[in-house]
Amino acid sequence: MATLGERDVAEVRAEGKHFRIFCEFTDVGFAATVYDVGSDQTIMDEIANSFEDGRRMCEEWLQRYLAGTVPKITWVHQPATAA
What 3-state class would DSSP assign to 64?
A: helix
H helices within the chain, ranges in order? 51-65
- Chain segment 32-55, per-residue pLDDT in tens: 999 999 999 999 999 999 999 999
Q: Tell me the C-alpha distance between 33 and 72, whole Å.
A: 18
- Chain segment 3-13, per-residue pLDDT in tens: 999 999 999 99
Q: Tell me the C-alpha distance between 60 and 15, whole Å.
A: 16
The whole-model pTM stands at 0.90
> Which residues are CB-contacts of 71 (< 8 A; sequence separation ≥ 6)?
12, 13, 14
Dihedral angle sign, alpha carbons of residues 31, 53, 55, 76: positive
The distance from CA 7 to its chain's CA centroid, rounded to whole angstroms, is: 9
